[in-house]
Structure 1
């Protein structure tokens, strides 16, 4: 590990987790009557909400704690913590496939076998692996190889499909880039940001769609953007991560604007906003991180999921 204080790395990862939790709770508040939701987005009004986070943040907490403990990912320990945290509160929006996987692991099956046999042996290509890796990129921002290694390790225990793994690596690298921007006091253009992520990805449909995002102007009609990049409605990596990367690329200094843009595409809005929030909070200007949101979101530090 390069000679940067561990305390700095942990605080970076904690800030990424804060961004995930804010984005997660923010996005989750926009489910409901579509006409009312669209009106709220148009007026930039957050619906009445308890600001509670979902499984996106719960699983990110476990990843953060692995990094906090030893700077790495112990797969056996991580899957165990996923199971424990799920049972502490199962009503956090977990998908059916993940619920089944965790149950089978708790019943004694190995995660290696359970993860690989999902979807008739193809493995899950869901967006769940991407939604929880921001702390990895924030912690190891100065070592892309380490970021990729740990993103894969955190992903494959539940998502063995190359699409899901690519999505996780893309988000982790994206977070490393935003953390590096703050550390180096540098600025990246949207295209530079996307290109640097693409350089680290294996060939896959997810990589192809992220590449396609470079040709999508920020001022395109959001329905057109959705038709090109997806909005997470299918809950797959290739339907979620390309838009989240694109949205972040154009809001690297503006956390608040990034989340409003992210939620406007609807779809899997809590997950998309969690990913955008986790990446953009690290490079954003502090004045563009609303203190009211920071103060209002459910505290992951005080939650039952946080090991003391």
Structure 2
């Protein structure tokens, strides 16, 4: 059985973080620091971006089949892109998703990006937290499924590692429901220990060693906060922020925003992780009113599905 509540909670949190963070791109640079210091919530509406659009596709895909089926998922990502390409997709994803939508093989297209290196952007990581919640009972399965979904658009090992790291952190957040949250350093160290030798892993290990009193701005300067739109420059900071505020979704979002950088994506990643543990508890109602609503099918999902994703998947093997 797959308990759908943590999955949907993670999805709702991801969308909230995405829309919340994106709204701050319109704040004039000379006004932004004071507005953030005063925690002035931005006026409605808060529209979500490609981060949420792709997460919705991924969750619907899991609901339909119980596991990641890369051929189908790649086509579904491309179909959603064609339907709503104005969701701020990045340049490389325009090329990838148009090519897949035109009938190209996703393996050839993704592997051909950036002279055969593939994209190491943060797009595979920004959408994956709900998958970690889905497969939370089996961390090895979380890693395999996160990798499979990543490869449909991002061939580079760093992008894959970033997606795996986010999914694992979300899974561990789900496992801590009803208990004290894991300590930040322990959580980040455990996730890093399950990753291959990558810059993402190195970033998480550095994040785990930052003193507890480290300011957000210092952490962002050391780890990066998505300015380069890459997985190594985005994931360690977003997970550091989430891991320090696993009992409060609003605090996760505010603190992540302080890092500036790729604000919609860092907030989406961090909020997707924290919400996998907390749900929307403590979120001001006006935030949810301001945020663009998710499609109607999200509210129609049963709190428990009769899928057995772990068994099904186990039987088979910038931006």
TM-score by length of 1: 0.92
Alignment of 1:111-122 (within 5 A): 111-122=106-117
Residue of structure 1 in register with 2:272 after alignment = 278
1:238 corresponds to which residue? 232
1:28 aligned partner: 22
Q: Mapping of 1:73-222 within 5 angstroms?
A: 73-182=68-177, 185-222=179-216
Q: Is the 1:30–1:46 Cα contact (8 Å) retained in structure 2?
A: no
Q: How far apart are the structure 2 equivalents of 1:258 and 1:218?
A: 15
Q: Work out the CA distance in 2 between the residues paired with 1:85 and 1:39.
A: 37
Whether 1:44 aligns to 2:39 is yes
- The Cα RMSD (Å) is 1.9
Deviation at 1:216, TM superposition (A): 1.8
CA distance in 2, matches of 1:285, 1:145: 24
Name the CA distance, whole Å, in 2 between partners of 1:235 and 1:30: 17
Match of 2:257 in 1: 263
Relative to structure 1, the CA distance from residue 221 to residue 179 in structure 2 (aligned partners, 3 Å threshold; closer, same or farther) is closer
* Deviations 1:50-109 (CA, angstroms, capped at 9, x unpaired): 111000000000110111112201111111111111121211110010001111112222
Local SS of the residue matching 2:176: helix
Counterparts of 1:64 and 1:200, CA distance in 2: 24
Q: Which moved further from structure 2: 252-261 or 235-244?
A: 252-261
Task: Say whether the 8 Å CA contact 2:43–2:290 is kept in structure 1.
Answer: no
What is the alpha-carbon distance in structure 1 between the residues aligned to residue 21 and residue 30 of structure 2? 16
Deviates more, 1:46-55 or 1:233-242: 46-55
In structure 2, distance between residues paired with 1:117 and 1:285: 39
Q: CA deviation at 1:298?
A: 1.5
Distance (Å, rounded) in 1 between the aligned partners of 2:213 and 2:40: 21
Pick closer, same or farther for the CA change 1:61–1:236 going to 2, 3 Å.
same
Cα 1:271–1:303, aligned 2, differ >3 Å: closer, same or farther?
A: farther
Aligned partners of 2:43 and 2:281: how far apart in 1? 24
Map of 1:252 onto structure 2: 246
Give the unaligned 5+ runs of structure 2: 302-319
Q: Name the SS for the 1:153 alignment partner.
A: helix
- Identify the range of structure 1 (219-228 vs 142-151) with the bigger mean alpha-carbon deviation: 219-228
Listed as ranges, the gaps of 5+ residues in structure 1 are none
Moved more, 71-80 or 221-230: 221-230
Instruction: After TM superposition, give the deviation of residue 192 of structure 1 in Å.
Output: 1.4
Which range is displaced more, 203-212 or 221-230?
Answer: 221-230
CA distance in 1, matches of 2:293, 2:281: 21
- Larger deviation: 22-31 or 197-206? 197-206
Q: Report the Cα distance in structure 1 between the residues aligned to 2:279 and 2:271, rounded to whole angstroms.
A: 13
Q: Which range moved further: 280-289 or 108-117?
A: 280-289
CA distance in 1 between counterparts of 2:211 and 2:246 reads 16
In 2, distance between residues paired with 1:147 and 1:238? 20
Question: Which structure 1 residue ranges, 4+ long, deviate > 6 Å from structure 2?
Answer: none
Using CA pairs under 8 Å that are at least 6 residues apart, name the structure with larger relative contact order, 1 or 2: 2
By how many angstroms is 1:302 displaced? Answer: 3.2
